[in-house]
Chains A and B, each alone.
Chain A
Amino acid sequence: MPLILGMSILLGCQFIGEILVHALHLPVPGPVLGMAVLLVGLMVNGRVPAGLRTSGEGLLRYLTLLFVPAGVGIMVHFGLIEADFWPIVVTLVVSTALTLAVTAKVMERLTRSTPRDPRDALREDRS
């Protein structure tokens, strides 16, 4: 039963997300808003119900499998990929490298400049 409850919570949040997106004409996918809804719900509730954790983490553990059906859809677009092959390859490699470098550099600067609470180290050990 807890698994069913967990799955119902996930689907319920997605449902609310979809309704909000359609009602308010938001440019965001429904499940993303569902994620925000669930986050707020968890904050209010103060803990993750056991069933929700089991079903949620189960889904996330096999997240990569869930991409496969959509990924196979690439076979329909071989023509488009062929036409834009070099722009796609160069963009993927260069932009990913840039993103990694900029994010790492910005984060490093900012975390170094924040004064660290010595208790943080202890807390981190425990978590």
Chain B
Amino acid sequence: MNLPVLDRLWVYLSASPLLYLLVTLLAFIAATRINRRLGGTPFLHPVIIAIVMLIGFLKLTRTDYATYFEGAQFIHFLLGPATVALAIPLYDYRERVRRMLLPILLGCGAGIVTAVTSTVGLAMLMGASRETVLTLAPRSVTSPIAMGIAEKLGGIPSLAAGLVLLTGSVGCALGPVIFRLVKVRDPSVQGFAMGLAAHGFGTAHSFSSIGAVAGAFAGLSMGLTGLFTAFLLPPIVHLFGL
């Protein structure tokens, strides 16, 4: 094949959504393999690796994000129904929730207030711009919900998604250290804290490295945190005058 033909083929392919949909899936598969090779470290989560690879690919081929998103939007769209599906694990744990309703609600409330006030307070103290603060605010909530909240608040949804992912990695790495420091050993409590502070990453991490009970509680707190934060965050942010 000579160069002009390749060139024309590229022009044709890059104009269709197919290419970017396929590239996204391939990048994710490759990233999952790389992460497994590295022993499943939370610092280099498959999602982070996939994003870095895709950004590299787009920069190399001089493709802008809007063009990429035409193809990738088919994957992105599924975030909506996936958020709705979080109701299923919540329903599965309804018995446990009913039994521990008070500790769960208070723990969830305390966690959310800590997450939001410390995030907004610190970011403002260190002189971050208003846009950055509003984008950071929902960072401990699972991505689809965080993006929705950031959009409603006046933050930047795609940046919020990135920060949520980073929060997840940081939470998985910090979790074991923090639990040792505050001397908390109960796996259900550890899982609950992981799900609250590090959403889906924390949930996956709890399942794989603490145990099934921890994973179940992480899933529960992730769902509850998402739901409550959506309601609690706008008034808290208003308190900070934003």
Contacts and interface: CB of A to CB of B under 8 A. Distances in A.
A92 B85 CA distance: 27
B86 A69 contact: no
A35 B179 contact: no
A65 B207 CA distance: 18
Contacts of B161: 67, 70-71, 73-74
A32 B226 contact: yes
Interface residues of B, number: 114
Given A14-B80, A38-B87, A94-B118, A105 B230 contact: no
A75 interface: yes
A57 B88 contact: yes
Interface string B67-95: 01100110110111111111111111011
Interface residues of A, number: 77
B20 to A, nearest CB: 9
Contacts of B28: 65, 68
Interface class of chain A by DSSP: helix
Interface stretch (B6-14, B36-44, B48-56): B48-56
B75 A68 contact: yes
Contacts of B149: 28-29
Interface of A: 7, 10-11, 13-14, 17, 27-32, 34-39, 42-43, 48, 52-53, 55-57, 59-60, 63-77, 80-81, 83-84, 86-88, 90-108, 110-111, 114, 117, 120, 123-124, 127
